[in-house]
Structure 1
């Protein structure tokens, strides 16, 4: 078996808001193909760290490398083009667009036809749009959403909106998929289905996944390694079993077993 390659390297990354250090000297290394969790109490800085990794915020200090390339300080679309795509804690679909259009938006990032052909409505534009539409429909079939391709996205049930958001992120062809609380608002059966979907996505698309999640059953059931963040700092990392029995982690969760 070939040695895994380092995909994401977070080196002493910090983010300061005013005088508050929301993220402080975080170090994180994720290998190609891993499925890694990021957990911690509310306010620990998890979403802030995701925002740093995806260009929403610029680091106040430290370095972020994706596939060996520095991405700290790049704009979100630039980081997406370099191979990192994400979902959000609060679903951010284009609510008034159709299910199909939401996925096609992601495909446009890798469109082969030029802006020139689009502006002047040349044959290359229509050929490119037809190809993207066909690919988007095939992609929706994977997530059992092709039958709803013409529905307005905001009219989908909650669980299907979550699946659509993940599908849209994957359509950007990322090396690294970042999932921000994908099980939020789901019932137990939906959470089990999501756990199976996440594992399937990693294996089927051969990509790396980093997820924030409060549902410890999902995290412990699907992640191979886990980082624990508290007050903006990494306080532990290891396998699910190591994290489950770590006294610092138990203390951070107010004495509750994770």
Structure 2
């Protein structure tokens, strides 16, 4: 058994002469949060797409729990425990909260989808809103519902693409707290693309910095924050 729940080795995505991602290698250990930062267009979301199978690799390999999933599509990878949320919420606005989480769980083939849905809702403090129509939720609650849909079936790996986008400072803090709790209570490993530096450096165990489709720095948050190139390019000289 591999020590890593997720491995992406020498991943490259080329579009003709454009190297959107060029030789990126990433790993995730169980219960770990790895934050991905970098400017727009650096390749962060493309790496997420590559790992989830939404784009075909030019070269490289993706392993989940030590098993090669490079040739599998997004649905097959999801059924094996690799889940993903997008920058925009993917909720059903006209449907009650619990009902859509239960349906998502049922679609995953969970034997007791009701219990699975309730566990997810309790974990994300959404049980009080279980019967509320989703479009009547506040935006922060809708983002948590989107996360709930990604958590049905107890995935081992969760890939999040800017989950704090559009949230207030307090809402971002609350969502970050939930993510950190998930890694310990549910043993979920998280790959987090996020522009909120306070969130990334506050909850990540490892931070990886992208530039022009390549990794330019990676390590513990304090070491990455102190890296002169990272400080100058992304964090400001006084960071």
TM-score, structure 1 length as denominator?
A: 0.86
Check if 1:168 corresponds to 2:149. Answer: yes
Q: How does 1:188-199 map to 2 (within 5 A)?
A: 188-199=169-180
Separation (CA, whole Å) in 1 of partners of 2:99 and 2:16: 40
Determine if contact 1:54/1:76 at 8 Å carries over to the other structure: yes
CA distance, structure 1, for counterparts of residue 119 and residue 28 of structure 2:
30
Secondary structure at the aligned position of 2:41 is classed as coil
Structure 2: gaps of 5 or more residues: none
Shift of residue 102, structure 1, vs aligned partner:
2.3
Tell me by how many angstroms 1:228 deviates: 0.7
1:248, distance to aligned residue in structure 2 (A): 2.2
RMSD between superposed Cα atoms in Å: 2.0
Instruction: Please give the residue correspondences for 1:73-92 in structure 2 after superposition, counting only pairs within 5 Å.
Output: 73-92=71-90
Q: Residues 55-78 of structure 1: CA distance to partner in whole angstroms, max 9, x if unpaired?
A: 111111111111111112321110
Task: Quickly say closer, same or farther: Cα 1:238–1:153, change in 2 above 3 A.
Answer: same
Relative to structure 1, is the Cα distance of residues 218 and 255 closer, same or farther in structure 2, using a 3 angstrom cutoff? closer
Partner of 1:241: 222
User: Deviation per CA, 1:103-133, whole angstroms, max 9, x where unpaired?
Assistant: 1233124426xxxxxxxxxxxxxxx6xx423
Corresponding pairs, count: 239
Name which of 163, 170, 182 aligns with 2:163. Answer: 182
Q: Secondary structure at the match of 1:77?
A: helix
Secondary structure at the aligned position of 1:253 is classed as: helix
Partner-residue secondary structure (3-state), 1:189: helix
Change (3 A) 1:104 1:257: farther
User: Once the two structures are superposed, what CA deviation does each residue of 1:228-252 show, in whole Å capped at 9, x if it has no partner?
Assistant: 1111101110111111111222243
TM-score normalised over the length of structure 2: 0.92
